[in-house]
Every structure is written in structure tokens, then in C-alpha cells.
Amino acid sequence: MHTHQTVDFVRSKHAQFGGFSYKKMTVMEAVDLLDRLVDESDPDVDFPNSFHAFQTAEGIRKAHPDKDWFHLVGLLHDLGKVLALFGEPQWAVVGDTFPVGCCPQASVVFCNSTFQDNTDLQDPRYSTELGMYQPHCGLDRVLMSWGHDEYMYQVMKFNKFSLPPEAFYMIRFHSFYPWHTGNDYQQLCSPKDLAMLPWVQEFNKFDLYTKCPDLPDVDTLRPYYQGLIDKYCPGILSW
């Protein structure tokens, strides 16, 4: 991942998947598709991702019973991992994310030992702290490493999910640990990003700490979550 995630690579993936012509399916069909995937990067999960989706959603539902949109984010957050089932290698689907086009910061995992073959770091346009960005330009103007977070965020925008901005931030940045946990990349953040950060951190509690071997009874939960899908992102979507 740290070798191949470059500006050119990420732009090529936006071009490849930006037409959303790979598959037509509903949200619940995408959830079911995740039963075919075990995330190689996640040390806490050795069961299919669909169970983790319901676990996360139920954890959020218990803690925030009044925010039904937040419950749905729990179900949606990893659906971008269908990229792996479209033939993408897992290094371009899962794992902690980071901005491309600037020098990786200290809290990027294995930062000092894994970027030596990344060609962007030999390019003076991309190898400084700011790289190709302006100070405090805002994360909406930052090119993130390609993976399931960015892809699902783009799917949500393209299909016009009627969720609040907080939901889009949670989806796009939940794997951006160097920002929401490492406190790095502040030089790129706008005031809006900093206002949204606590929401991403709140979501992350449930993404990390609801992973347990007691699997939810998915069949009893489906009707509730189907109702949320019908409210916020109904019908057959373009992926």
C-alpha cells in the first residue's frame, strides 16, 4: 500500500470507478455480498464483514437511540470493501488511509520503513509537509489514498444519499487514523474538518470496540435497517 498509493494511482482509480458502472444493487445486497470477504488487514475480525456491519450499527443504536442516520452509518461504513470482490487487491481496499500528494506524517503506521519505494516521495511536488496542497485547504480538497472509505463516500455522493454531512465524514475518514487518532495532518484541515472530527472519533469507538465473537442475529435486525435504507438510500444503486 505504501509503495503503490501515489497521486497518479489514486487518480487512475477515481477514473476507473467514477462511472459507477460495476454493479447495480441495493444496500442490503451489498451487505450480503460482504459475506464473501474477510478483511486481511483487520486483526480483530476473522468472520465475514456483514456481521461486523450489524455489530457496529447495533452498538451505535444502543448508545445513540435518537439518531437513526447514525445507526445506518454503522451498517454502511465498510460496504466499499466490495471493491475486493470486483478484483481489486486488498492493499487498494483496506488498511489505514492517508493523504497522497504530500509527505506521510509520523503517525502513519510503519511510516519510516515502508515508503522508500513510493515514487511520489522522490518528486519535489509531493515530498514536503504540504506537498501539492495549500495550508488549511480542507480535507474535501485532499486526495486520499484509494480504498473502501473513499469509494463508499463517492458511491454515497453519486447516488445522492440523504444523510447529514457528519455521516459522509464518518464514511470517508473512518480509516484515517493518522488524523482522527494520531492528530496529524492538521496543516490541511479547515475549521469544518475540525468541527467534524469529534463525530468521526465517536463513530470510531463503535467500529473498533464492537468486534466480538458473539455474532448478531442478523435476520431479526434486517427489517429495522431496511427501514433506514428505505428512508435514506432506497432502491437499486450504482456501484
Helices (H), 34-183: 49-63, 68-76, 82-85, 111-114, 148-158, 165-173, 177-180
CB atoms within 10 A of CB 12: 12
217 assigned binding-site residue: no
52 assigned binding-site residue: yes
136 assigned binding-site residue: no
Contacts of 48 (CB under 8 A, 6+ apart): 34, 35, 36, 37, 38
Q: Which residue, among 129, 77, 124, 133, has the nearest Cα to 106 in the 3D structure?
A: 129
77 assigned binding-site residue: yes
Query: Is 196 buried (19+), middle (13-18) or exposed (0-12) by CB count in 10 A?
Result: buried
Q: What are the grid coordinates assigned to 63, written together?
A: 448508545
2 assigned binding-site residue: no
Residue found under cell 486483526: 43
Helices (H), the chain: 7-17, 27-33, 49-63, 68-76, 82-85, 111-114, 148-158, 165-173, 177-180, 191-209, 218-232
Q: Which residue, among 220, 215, 203, has the nearest Cα to 76 in the 3D structure?
A: 203
Name the binding residues.
52, 77-78, 148, 174, 207
Name the binding residues for Fe cation.
52, 77-78, 148, 174, 207
